[in-house]
Amino acid sequence: MTDTRSAADTRLKAAIVTVTPFQQNCTLVWDGKTRHGVVVDPGGDVPRIKSAIAQANVEIDAILLTHGHIDHAGGAAELREALGVEIAGPHVADKFLLDDLPNNGKRFGLTAQAVTPDRWLDEGDTVKIAGRPFAIFHCPGHSPGSVVYFSKEQRFALVGDVLFAGSIGRTDFPYGDHAALIDAIKRKLLPLGDDIAFVCGHGPTSTFGQERRTNPFLQG
């Protein structure tokens, strides 16, 4: 586990636990004062996520999912049971992926339970993360139900596999839609501000400004 931000008092803290053979960035986000927070995308390796929660000394209020792929959602049901909290997200368009997690896991030699979130999310919804409002943007393309969590106050977003540092989410699935993905990034995310820092599903963090200027998929 590495601390990605050692923020001032009013800023939320975040820590990444890399999980599954896909090196997915399961992310803890919490308030340093109240020590309440959430787990975003517990894709697997649940014992390691639980020890990261203990190490950060955080009381988890909820589990949030950005989309239905196994590396993001494969450990969600197990962690929900262990923590006794609710799961919010993704958009209901990813229900078919969440229902198919056990079968999908077999293909990769992973054990995963199917999961039904307690709350589906949609464009314009708001969820509380450590007491702060995060706006929901529905950004299909990588998966039909991908959502992005955005805090205007914190200048921070959790984008899942929509956007990466220097890349974008894969769309070579039967349900992938490259044009929709590019449209969502350009129309919904980049206008939020160049200064917005984001944690993505794989690899290093970045900012929307850095990606707007240099990401090869977003030029032209």
> What are the residues binding Zn ion (CB under 5 A)?
69, 71, 161, 201
Pick the closer one to Zn ion by CB: 32 or 176: 176
Element (H, E) at 132: strand 132-138
Query: Smallest gap, in angstroms, from Cβ of residue 66 to Zn ion?
Result: 8
Q: How far is CA 12 from CA 7, 75, 178, in A?
A: 7, 24, 32
Q: How far is CA 183 from CA 117, 139, 150, in A?
A: 27, 9, 17
Element (H, E) at 52: helix 46-56
Alpha-carbon gap, residue 74 to 76, rounded angstroms: 6
Query: Smallest gap, in angstroms, from Cβ of residue 161 to Zn ion?
Result: 4
Query: Smallest gap, in angstroms, from Cβ of residue 146 to Zn ion?
Result: 8
Pick the closer one to Zn ion by CB: 59 or 108: 108
Pick the closer one to Zn ion by CB: 121 or 130: 121
Pick the closer one to Zn ion by CB: 132 or 178: 178
Element (H, E) at 73: helix 70-73
- Residues 42 and 76: beta-carbon distance below 8 Å: yes
Query: Smallest gap, in angstroms, from Cβ of residue 193 to Zn ion?
Result: 25
- Residues 120 and 89: beta-carbon distance below 8 Å: yes
Pick the closer one to Zn ion by CB: 71 or 211: 71
**Spatial CA neighbour of 179 closest among 131, 145, 132, 140:** 140
Amino acid at 24: Q
Pick the closer one to Zn ion by CB: 176 or 209: 176
Pick the closer one to Zn ion by CB: 37 or 44: 44
183 by DSSP, 3-state: which? helix
**Spatial CA neighbour of 66 closest among 98, 35, 37, 36:** 98
Query: Smallest gap, in angstroms, from Cβ of residue 198 to Zn ion?
Result: 14
Query: Smallest gap, in angstroms, from Cβ of residue 200 to Zn ion?
Result: 9
Query: Smallest gap, in angstroms, from Cβ of residue 208 to Zn ion?
Result: 19
Q: Which two tokens stand for residue 91?
A: 């958009």
